[in-house]
Structure 1
């Protein structure tokens, strides 16, 4: 059995060709899609976070709303850019959203990817320490965030507080027990995956790796997953980790599917330059269900992961994206033993 959810970037554009023309559309349709996905039997609703872009940005109002409208589906991010985050505010917001959802939050964080503006995190009041850089700052923010999620007191109480304090040092509230084990790191390399395991975070890997060894994407990603699990065993963590990968999968079962995604049937891996280095992008999967079953059966990274996130074109609207989810759950997942 494999958990199957969706990942949405929440794009919106004021174009007559888009079903999502405003920020309000993106937010409200995200809620409706999560509700529909739960009704269809999907396992997760995940959302990308991008700043200074016509995409979803502030995740916790959205996640809390979805948590209040649903009862079973996991809700999460894929991923929050930690260069932009105050880790204590993040811990409070995440704790509240997790409690509202009844402990269903799966929080993906990362050092971030190329953004819309130059050094956008500076506008949020975050500056790397002298001799450091933004990536190191993101990891330090993550370390503080993880420490705070443990729920231990660290703040000296006021001897004359407005309200009575419990004894000892104070922790942040609301605290959500168990959330620390549901933090994921979006790793773009094999080395970062090992670091993720050492810190006891789950691994979130997408269709982009910021390195290339010349092998097909799914094999490079499978190696990343194996190195993560080996590092986890070496670290001696007591619980079992989780691993997710994301894929664009479009079963062609209607004329509209064929019209929209026929050209994706020839999709292949791509290698390009990103932030001064080579990066490998995974291909999309599109075709008749029988063909998809055969192709996905050979995807070593999908086989190795316990969670699959379907990357959806949210501007096609709630109904069409629910159709994509249903098509994968109905025509592909059972044939591969995922359901």
Structure 2
């Protein structure tokens, strides 16, 4: 529980990894350079968003494979991979391969449910099986069994000159303990805890019955605090369960006047969505306010956040429409100003 007297243990950041659709290379190289800078600045982790049919990272495993050869210490994760797009067995093989190549640094996060714009993409994604695909929690459970080394093939032994295993190969011991789940609802939060997963709680949450405050206003931090409490109460590790909070945080200590103006306009444009859940019918998704200011101002706001006081690690999200030099400034201020203001110390 970070307080002015108890230091934040782990500091990470999340990037969308945008690129120009007509010339993707420079944007992808920028993403790799941003992650390398994160390691140089002492960040504990870098997380990649996962996007399809957009000019953002569609294959974070490929990006993490490249990063595994360009970094040596920083942990790499996804926040989150929507598993409805993936074959769990092939995903287990790829994750274990990159985890081994990185020296055990992967911390992938997942979610379930139908892919976004399901009716538009299902014929391309699952032309013969779309109506029979299991897009429930069981899809994650399958992946977990495969990652944890359980037997999933009915054949093991020798066929000709070749040896076959009943488990997915390669197997990376320890990877199964580093899997995160991006939960938004109470049901998904409790399920993730009961599976022994780690919890990624972000700047988007689904409010439910009883979450509206007595004054008729929505309090994102209070809802998120209750989500974290629910998770810990059902997790085998209790209060020791890993929970990471993700908010959009923009320190401005070394920003130029032009950058500050850009950041302020970005936050102002997004603020209206924080007042009420988005999207009918019924309560939709509620967004947390972006946190903008000097590192001392940001730290003061975070210490006042009820959910922040319940976590030991954070993964702050980088705004997805900024330029490379903006990310350099923001990350540098996070590591050299904001992190220390929260009691965090950079990794060697």
> TM-score by structure 1 length?
0.87
> Are residues 1:171 and 2:176 paired?
no
Contact 1:265 1:287 in 2 (8 A): no
Q: 1:3: which partner in 2? A: 10
Contact 2:17 2:28 in 1 (8 A): yes
> TM-score by structure 2 length?
0.84
Change in CA separation of 1:87 and 1:239 when aligned onto 2, cut-off 3 Å: farther
1:211-290 matches, cutoff 5 A: 211-212=207-208, 213-214=211-212, 215-232=218-235, 236=236, 240-253=240-253, 254=255, 255-263=257-265, 267=271, 269-274=274-279, 276-278=281-283, 279-290=285-296
Aligned pair count reads 323
Q: Which of the numbers 311, 314, 329 marks the counterpart of 1:323?
A: 329
Q: Which stretches of structure 1, 4 residues or more, deviate above 6 A after TM superposition?
A: none
How far, CA to CA, are the matches of 2:188 and 2:275 in structure 1?
21
Give how far 1:190 is off: 2.2
For structure 1, list consecutive stretches of 5 or more residues without a partner in the other structure: 15-20
Q: 1:188: which partner in 2? A: 184
> Are residues 1:29 and 2:25 paired?
no
How far, CA to CA, are the matches of 2:181 and 2:76 in structure 1?
15
Change in CA separation of 1:88 and 1:74 when aligned onto 2, cut-off 3 Å: same
Q: 1:161: which partner in 2? A: 159
189-198 vs 116-125, greater mean Cα deviation: 116-125
Contact 1:84 1:121 in 2 (8 A): no
Deviations 1:243-266 (A, max 9, x none): 111111112223233221234666
> Are residues 1:127 and 2:130 paired?
yes
How far, CA to CA, are the matches of 1:75 and 1:27 in structure 2?
16
Contact 1:8 1:311 in 2 (8 A): yes
Contact 2:85 2:125 in 1 (8 A): yes
Instruction: State the SS of the aligned residue for 1:71.
Output: coil
How far, CA to CA, are the matches of 2:344 and 2:48 in structure 1?
22
Q: CA RMSD for the aligned pairs?
A: 2.5
Give how far 1:122 is off: 4.6
Bigger RCO (CA 8 Å, 6+ sep): 2
Contact 2:13 2:46 in 1 (8 A): yes
How far, CA to CA, are the matches of 1:122 and 1:29 in structure 2?
33
How far, CA to CA, are the matches of 1:277 and 1:23 in structure 2?
39
84-93 vs 321-330, greater mean Cα deviation: 321-330
Give how far 1:116 is off: 4.9
Give how far 1:298 is off: 0.6
Contact 2:207 2:277 in 1 (8 A): no
